[in-house]
Structure 1
């Protein structure tokens, strides 16, 4: 419900009033009763009056919203209980406290009003000191509720802001680290952005299947895309003579080149150990860095894992990484066309790559081409 702020906290932490006099709506079809209550309340509060249920709903739903409603039960047309139901059904008025006022002096009537959700029940003829005391109590309670609600809203907004800041810091830190690898291997250019896009596209497509859906929720996909840029961070530890060699690597050089996956995993592991608590995306980044060169048939490195022993994250990264390597120029090769790269990956179905992920790649091949074009070097 929207209403006027009534309290705030100053810089010294002291509660201070920030509101104009609080508004009370009196609803009664009797002019005499309205006059009595109006005379009683006007010195302390802003008073508005309504002589029918329909008019009461109009006033209650317009700014300034009442802080409290005194509602007669017995009225022609729409009675107080019906008015109360309408008030509770409207998001703008459902939190306004209501005190029923009635000439019916019965326990059943009082219980019915309280069961509906009224905060109090006053019988006529009214006793002014008692009415004032009850109104004061309910207004103080509403003020406290409003303050707690506003504090909760503020805290929720602050938490969301801090989480967004933390995510931004993570994104910037990841890209900064990944760009270190790019500096060592400048030919890769926008490789980070492209592979990140490929990974997200594949994971989103795989999520449509019952097999992968439990493993690839929205959060998991977000973490996976965030972690992907660190897959080749280990290349920082590879000598320039090998990393920039224009021709094929010798057997000995290839042994050194293959160490980049473990070098990257170890580097991320060290960063993870320095953290005060577990960092989910680092664990995923370490997994990708170590395993994205494993192959479905067990012929990959560093450990020759096969099939589903290879983490899903690394299986996804494998296709993203290979596709990008095929379609972009390297010091040792010219780029292939998108269709040629597609055919090579399709041929690796069940050998190099997880068959299900190849199928997802083929289904999203158009998206891969779009990402490659959008982030050309």
Structure 2
């Protein structure tokens, strides 16, 4: 097996920069057979060659030159994205310690003084070419790994989306009144969350990751309905008090179903955190009069407070066995009346800013009949 770090004379390009023809000839002789060479007699010409294609793998650079001296050439190489990574060795008659220190501080990888010792020059060129090759191999390997991670991330996200949709569809198929309800509420929650982001109270809680997870998780808010008997869930009329008590267990049933799925993974999963919160607490009310726990105010998770408003708005504009579909403006008025009692006041304020978008979402995902977003 060939060594990936082995140097081949015909694959590595070295640029030699010196304004003295005899020095260019000497270095060319020293490095003959070690690599391919390009020669430049000025700093200006060196910058042109370095920025070309192919770029040199290594630059041997004199310091004392008319026009751009070696220090200025190195500054310009390091300032340009296309050339900043090319290793540079100063090759100069300036042998004072302060000259070497300045060159290395500017970013040179080595410093060779004239008169040149051929064996030392060849050894150092080989060393830095091999380091450059190793860095290039590592960079390609890292890019490959990044591509694999990105692909795997896309696959995991797709699996999450399919899992959420499959679980949510279980609830949807059990309830003959939901229709596109889960799709609409998913977009309502996203719309509300985006409107809340500028608010200092919510800025730390609603970053891009949180918004993405909220959107994924929202369809599971009614997953607990799969555990409600058909005689209650599909009843074509108002529920009795006993039946309503059973219906009120669906948040707990939903939370427990998601929790069991999480336990199967053997660890807490951020992907399911919002799903649990929304399923369990979206029937809570800001004033503490909701269920299942009677949580009050900020005891209710933000994700559930968002879903509470989205869920109520959609129920208002949708036809139910116990009510007609209400017009959009009537639904908005009822939401306003719930400020401070049913809903977080700041979330109602955000709703006021985006209520027209709610109406657009309702129209976009309307069922064949029943919604009245106009």
Query: What TM-score bracket applies, with the shorter chain setting the length?
Result: over 0.9
Q: Which residue of 2 aligns with 1:305?
A: 295
Structure 2 partner of 1:3: none
Kept after mapping to 2: 8 A contact 1:245/1:332: no
Structure 1 position 15 matched with structure 2 position 10: no
1:182 aligns with 2:172: yes
- Name the TM-score, length of structure 2 as normaliser: 0.93
Structure 1's unaligned 5+ residue stretches are: 1-11
How far residue 156 of structure 1 moved from its aligned partner, in angstroms, is 2.4
Match of 2:189 among 182, 195, 199: 199
- The alignment of Structure 1 onto Structure 2 pairs a total of residues equal to 366
SS of structure 1 residue aligned to 2:14: strand
Equivalent of residue 43 in structure 1, options 4, 23, 33: 33
Contact 2:6–2:130 (Cα < 8 Å) also in 1: no
Counterpart secondary structure, 2:366: coil
**Would you say the 8 A contact 2:254–2:279 is kept in 1?**
yes
- Note the C-alpha offset of 1:161: 2.2
Q: Partner residue of 2:372?
A: none
Q: What is the match of residue 93 of structure 1? A: 83
Match of 1:288 in 2: 278
1:3-152, aligned counterparts within 5 Å?
Answer: 15=4, 20-152=10-142
Specify whether residues 68 and 16 from structure 1 end up closer, same or farther in structure 2 by C-alpha distance, changes over 3 A only. closer
Distance 2:168 2:183 in 1: 10
In the alignment, what sits opposite 2:370?
Answer: none
CA distance in 1, matches of 2:365, 2:32: 69
CA distance in 2, matches of 1:71, 1:286: 64
Give per-residue Cα distances to partners, 1:98-156, cap 9 Å, x unaligned.
11111223222222212222111111221212111110011011111222222222222
Cα displacement (A) at 1:210: 1.1
Structure 2 unaligned regions, length at least 5? 368-374
Distance in structure 1 (CA, Å) of the matches to 2:225 and 2:343: 23
Q: Is the 8 A contact 1:182 1:188 kept in 2?
A: yes
Give TM-score scaled by structure 1 length: 0.93
- 3-state secondary structure, aligned to 2:292: coil
**Residue 163 (structure 2) pairs with residue 173 (structure 1):** yes
In the TM superposition, residue 59 of structure 1 has moved relative to its aligned partner by 0.3
